[in-house]
């Protein structure tokens, strides 16, 4: 009975939170829609698979080295990090201090966690290399552009005007958001205006 209990404790299901359970169900729904219903498989399959991997309990695939250190709650290691950040040796206090810290200090804390023996998860490394550097969106859009079927466009060239109008709408929305910011009606930064336009 003890070995069965140890097996259940080691599976990670005992550490499954409500948020993780909901996200696992959403990820499975996205995978089902992509595979069984053939609904936008190029979009939903990677999103569902990534959501599934990042929400596996106790796997730590999406955690950075510093987040792994904070998740293990080792009092001695937390004290070292807290001393560097000048805060209480509590996980919540450290997270608040990190949120307010400069990026260089955050990088130093990350390196300190690596020196203590913690490693980032696979998805955290992928995020840093592909998404954080900005390479993945470029490759994704190039791939989608290469896979685009231009047959309907060539058969009816007037649809080119529809696509051009859609692109103009994106730029007009960005300029409209920045205009609202200029006149002080609603405050938008350039990245926020670009997100609204897209």
Q: What is the pLDDT of residues 124-133, one digit of tens each?
A: 898 889 988 8
Phi, psi of 28 (to 5 degrees): -65, -35
What's the pLDDT at 77?
Answer: 92
Both tokens of 196, joined, read 């609204």
- For residues 158 and 170, the answer to whether their CB atoms sit within 8 Å is no
Closest among 17, 101, 106 to 58, alpha carbons compared: 17
What's the pLDDT at 157?
Answer: 87
Look up tokens 């696992």; give the residue. Answer: 24
- For residues 89 and 114, the answer to whether their CB atoms sit within 8 Å is no
DSSP symbol at 56 = S
Q: What are the distances in angstroms from CA 15 to CA 6, 11, 22, 118?
A: 13, 9, 14, 20
Global pTM reads 0.61
- For residues 196 and 188, the answer to whether their CB atoms sit within 8 Å is yes
- For residues 41 and 84, the answer to whether their CB atoms sit within 8 Å is no
CA distance 24 to 58: 14
Both tokens of 21, joined, read 């359970």
pLDDT per residue over 164-186, tens digit each? 999 999 999 999 999 999 999 99
- For residues 80 and 69, the answer to whether their CB atoms sit within 8 Å is no
Residues with Cβ within 8 Å of 100's Cβ and at least 6 positions away in sequence, in order, are none
- Look at 3 and 44; give whichever has higher pLDDT: 44
Q: What is the mean pLDDT of the chain?
A: 89
Burial of 34 (0-12, 13-18, 19+ CB in 10 A): buried
Look up tokens 């140890």; give the residue. Answer: 6
For residues 144, 43, 138, 123, the Cα torsion angle rounded to the nearest 10 degrees is: -150
- Look at 7 and 155; give whichever has higher pLDDT: 155
- For residues 21 and 14, the answer to whether their CB atoms sit within 8 Å is no
CA distance 14 to 57: 8
């Amino acid at each position: 009975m003890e070995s069965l209990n140890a097996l259940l404790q080691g599976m990670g299901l005992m550490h499954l939170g409500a948020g993780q359970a909901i996200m696992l169900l959403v990820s499975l729904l996205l995978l089902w829609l992509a595979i069984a219903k053939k609904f936008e498989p190029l979009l939903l399959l990677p999103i569902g698979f990534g959501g599934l991997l990042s929400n596996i309990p106790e796997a730590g695939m999406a955690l950075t080295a510093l987040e792994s250190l904070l998740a293990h709650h080792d009092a001695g290691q937390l004290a070292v990090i807290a001393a560097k950040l000048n805060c209480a040796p509590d996980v919540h206090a450290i997270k608040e201090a990190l949120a307010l810290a400069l990026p260089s200090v955050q990088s130093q804390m990350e390196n300190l966690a690596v020196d203590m023996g913690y490693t980032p998860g696979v998805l955290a490394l992928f995020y840093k290399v592909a998404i954080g550097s900005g390479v993945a969106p470029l490759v994704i859009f190039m791939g989608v552009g290469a896979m685009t079927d231009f047959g309907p466009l060539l058969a009816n060239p007037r649809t080119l005007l529809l696509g051009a109008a859609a692109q103009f709408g994106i730029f007009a929305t960005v300029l409209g958001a920045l205009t609202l910011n200029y006149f002080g009606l609603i405050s938008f930064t350039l990245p926020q205006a670009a997100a609204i336009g897209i």
